[in-house]
A and B are shown apart, each in its own frame.
Chain A
Amino acid sequence: MLMRHTPKEIPERKALTVNPAKTCQPIGAMYASLGIHGCLPHSHGSQGCYAYHRSCLTRHYKEPVLAATSSFTEGASVFGGQANLLQAINNIFTVYDPAVIAVHTTCLSETIGDDIPQIFAKAENEGKIPDGKYVLHANTPSYVGTHVTGFANMTKAMVDYFATANGHKEKCVNLIPGWVEPSDMKEIKRIAFEMGVKSILFPDTENVLNGPQTGKFTMYPKGGVTIDQLKKTGSSRGTIALGRLASGPAAKALDAKCKVPCEILDLPIGLKATDRFVDALRKMAGVTVPDSLNLERGQMLDIITDMQAYLYHKKVALVGDPDQLEALTEFLIDIDMLPVHIITGTRDKKFEQRIQELTADLPCKVNVKSGYGADMFHFHQLIKNEPVDLMFGNTYVKYISRDEDIPFIRFGFPIMDRIGHSYFPTVGYQGGMRLLEKILDALMDRQDRDSSEIEFDLVM
């Protein structure tokens, strides 16, 4: 019992997070930055932060994750990090030659109050930013928000720095995918392509964090949204932002800055959310839904129909990020499952409200919690008090899965002990089918394992 330290009783906790269901802003900013073509993320702080972020992303994606650091020491922490950042910008452009440097702050540089735009201006004046090269930044103090906020802030920074309105509207739709896997970003682009919609997706980590084996070490893999594309987002006819928390701020900024109208939708996980995404694309681009997508939708529906009996009222516990959980909850309810414990470490009042609305008609009590005290420890306690048939969450849920003997589907970030997430989507109809396969595999493997020799059955 690895988690034997988790008691069943749920005491009041004031000053403590145990086994967090979240991590800090900068890693989200780093992930988003990697979705710009030719970008080197830069961590403005001490070396440890960026080393941890690189290691964590490397463990999740099994890809080289490059970033640079300001290498703060005591001197920088007392006198400010300007000299470090100026030197870093110079070094990076001279030696590593990226198209763009995406700077994010850490709790250290935030607290000493480094003014990044002012340092950028100084770098510009001193000729440290070569012609045709770019810098951008996001403020990501670790003691505010979580990795989700960091992703949102860096994505918004892409708009703040680059989006420009050229005076007329192009027939193009901006797509902001939210914090999803490279495979999901690819699927979102594919859906738009199937519908004949010209789109700009940002950030875009496809081919950056699921790249091929090439025999070469490439600092800047082929994927990623280009700066030219980011500039053009200001002239698109509209924006569809997927995931309220991770993509909403960028979409709103684009509307405010360039008058590009936006629709903020759920991540297209599951049937209804994908329908809404496809419909929004249809309306915004003025196209019709092609047969190819209708076929995929029908197939997904067919699987649900065929397998109803196995899904009926199975209890599920979910832990992860708000955008993912809202969509996933809706999907699970639609396939007749019962999400009973829903936990996210990212504080968000609207999340709790939304989950309550979604689960209002369920024939059981639903526990939902976000922010402080909503950690894996609490998640485990809820499960101890009311066991479930299936759990969704990142790799760390495996401890609970083992202790409580409950099947578990890896979903979210980080996943350090399985592959597939960066190659196969969970969004769209295709992703929905994959999710269904995972759910049914978990439940039916369990049934096979638990059934007696008498009950054991060939056809299920």
Chain B
Amino acid sequence: MASISILKGREKQIYQKGSQDFDMSCDKKSLAGSISQRACVFCGSRVVLYPIADALHLIHGPIGCASYTWDIRGSLSSGPQLHRMSFSTDLQERDIIFGGEKKLTNALDTLIDQYKPKAAFVYATCIVGLIGDDIDAICKKMSEEKGIPVLPVHSEGFKGTKKDGYKAACDAMANIVGTGSIKDISPLSINIMGEFNIAGEAWVIRDYYERMGLEVVSVFTGDGRVENIKRSHGAALNVVQCSGSMLHLAQHMQEKYGIPYIRVSYFGIEDMSKALYDVAEHFQDIDPEVLPRTQALVREEVKKIHPVLKQYKKKLHGKKAAIYVGGAFKAFSMIKALRTLGMDVVLAGSQTGTKEDYQVLKDMCDDGTVIVDDANPVELSKYSIEKKVSLFVGGVKERPMAFKLGIGFCDHNHERKLSLAGYSGMINFAREVYASVTSPVWQFAPQRNQ
């Protein structure tokens, strides 16, 4: 492929290990005119809060924001399905001129009476920030009238990046944390944070912790319930995956309620086991039996999947992979998980990594690996071809790009249909990677024939 130009001002967001001094630029807004794969503040808030299944999610703005996020995340609920409905004030031109406050009040009034939700989240979109509707006052008033928490989520799209949306979501939830009874909560208890139950992953993880003898007070926010969030301050430890989305709330709970937190990842054998051991270690003083129970669990689970993984590893050994995901933390886990399968990662990047994240990424990677921040499809395709990758791990917008190039693909975002977390998830991941990389279709793909 002919060399491509890189957007001026982006040169430092691409780094090839071993070729130059490491001075990665990141954590900055995308340039105007870029084909960034990123989204907005609203998107961040919406994906974090969406899985709370017994809450009302009302989007205050023109219809698009509600349409595009209608049941798009794949977070499963074991009970209520209210979160899968799409509610919008559907602002029209006259509302932009005269304000949408009356409409918002009416909508909340109707919906809360009709559905009796445990809480309501009101998302402010771009335009609401601009016309200045006082959603805080409306939420406060409705909250008093209806006797449930009605929480404003300040997620005006232009106010920053997806990360700022995560923070807005955490701020909204922080208002209900601490409002429930914490009587009867075990001293051996945790909150699972940053786990959204895509394809039922929270259930897998929850099962592990329960087998270790721990009580899970609340999952933020997979298969989420308002009641559990209210009493989550009774947990002894916050276990944070997807730190980008949840660290803010964990820090808040540490400051306000003195709950310590640890960061974990559930992808790949290595990180999954480390997560369980780290949690076990935390409770060692209260119950020395937690660690042996955890060891037994890990042994049992690894034993189950090890022979199967070995088979896949034989077939995948030496194949090259590219990773482009939202959060950098996930990229770390992916690198380890792909190494378990015998694969080499030659391109790794994220939409929202920090300087520290990229330092870790650099230290993990082999020489020659390309590291990218906030990349676009042109760059991603260029390096995928140059590096001769057989697998691309990404999300919805990367999938067709990889397929056009004749490269296998694994969705590690909203559209995964199989649980990829935990030990059982590792098998699913291996199977999916194997199926895609070795698909007979590639024998017909022009790129592979060259």
Contact = CB atoms under 8 A, between A and B. Distances in A.
Given A4-B81, A95-B5, A112 B158 contact: no
Interface string A40-77: 00100111110111111011011111111111111011
Contact of B38 (A42, A51, A83, A143): A51
Contacts of A294: none
Contacts of A435: none
Interface string B78-101: 000110111111111101100000
A213 B448 CA distance: 12
Residue among A88, A112, A213 having the largest count of chain B Cβ atoms under 10 Å: A213
A22 interface: yes
Interface string A72-96: 1110110000011101111110111
B68 A95 contact: no
Nearest to B87: A18
B90 A48 contact: no
A46 B62 contact: no
B33 A64 contact: no
A329 interface: no
B390 to A, nearest CB: 13
B29 A73 contact: yes
Contact of A216 (B4, B30, B66, B405): B405
Given A26-B64, A27-B64, A217 B157 contact: no
Contact of B66 (A20, A51, A83): A20
Nearest to B37: A51
Nearest to A87: B32
A46 B157 contact: yes
A409 to B, nearest CB: 20
Contact of A47 (B1, B107, B157): B157
Contacts of A20: 63, 66-67, 70, 86, 88, 90
B435 interface: no
A16 B36 contact: no
Contacts of A144: 92-93
Interface string B379-412: 0010001000000000011011101111000000
Contact of A213 (B31, B90, B446): B446
Contacts of B449: 215
B98 to A, nearest CB: 12
B85 A23 contact: no
B110 A142 contact: no
Interface stretch (B126-134, B222-230, B234-242): B126-134
A19 B92 CA distance: 17
Contact of B92 (A7, A74, A143): A143
Contacts of A219: 378
B106 A16 contact: yes
B429 interface: no
Contacts of B66: 17, 20
Interface residues on A, range: 35 or more
B32 A107 contact: no
B401 A15 contact: no
Contacts of A214: 404, 446
Q: Chain B CB within 10 Å — which of A19, A76, A345 has the most?
A: A19
Contacts of A107: 61-62, 64, 96, 126-127
Interface in A107-159: 107-108, 111-112, 141-144, 146
A14 interface: yes
Interface stretch (B39-47, B195-203, B251-259, B334-342): B39-47
Contacts of B103: 14-15
A18 B106 CA distance: 14
A371 B385 CA distance: 47
A191 B92 CA distance: 40
Contact of B81 (A5, A59, A63): A5
A83 to B, nearest CB: 8
B68 A23 contact: yes
A49 B157 contact: yes
Contact of A215 (B42, B158, B445): B445
B282 interface: no
Given A71-B36, A144-B92, A217 B7 contact: no
B32 A85 contact: yes
Contact of B67 (A14, A24, A91, A143): A24
A418 interface: no
A46 B90 contact: no
Contacts of A19: 70, 85-86
B18 interface: no
A5 B32 contact: no
A120 B385 CA distance: 36
Given A2-B84, A16-B110, A69-B32, A215 B406 contact: yes
Contacts of B30: 47, 69, 71
A372 interface: yes
A200 to B, nearest CB: 28
A344 B262 CA distance: 50
B317 interface: no
B404 A64 contact: yes
Interface in A392-440: 396, 399
A283 interface: no
A13 interface: yes
B102 interface: yes
Interface string B12-53: 000000000000000001111111111111110000000000
Given A48-B42, A84-B32, A217 B130 contact: no
A84 B106 CA distance: 37
B183 interface: no
Given A5-B85, A23-B68, A27-B64, A143 B127 contact: yes
Contacts of B129: 77
Contacts of B93: 141, 143-144
A112 B104 CA distance: 22
Contacts of B87: 16-18
28 contacts: A5-B85, A18-B87, A20-B63, A20-B66, A20-B67, A20-B88, A22-B63, A23-B67, A24-B67, A42-B33, A45-B126, A45-B158, A51-B38, A58-B396, A58-B397, A58-B400, A62-B400, A69-B36, A73-B158, A88-B33, A94-B5, A107-B96, A108-B158, A111-B96, A213-B403, A213-B406, A214-B404, A217-B381
Interface of A: 2, 4-5, 7, 13-20, 22-24, 26-27, 42, 45-49, 51-56, 58-59, 61-74, 76-77, 83-85, 87-92, 94-96, 106-108, 111-112, 141-144, 146, 211, 213-219, 345, 372, 377, 396, 399
Closest 8 CB pairs of A and B: A48-B40, A215-B447, A24-B64, A91-B33, A88-B33, A215-B446, A217-B381, A15-B106
Given A15-B102, A95-B6, 14 more contacts: A24-B67, A27-B64, A45-B158, A47-B36, A51-B40, A61-B400, A64-B397, A68-B34, A69-B34, A89-B33, A95-B7, A108-B127, A108-B130, A143-B93
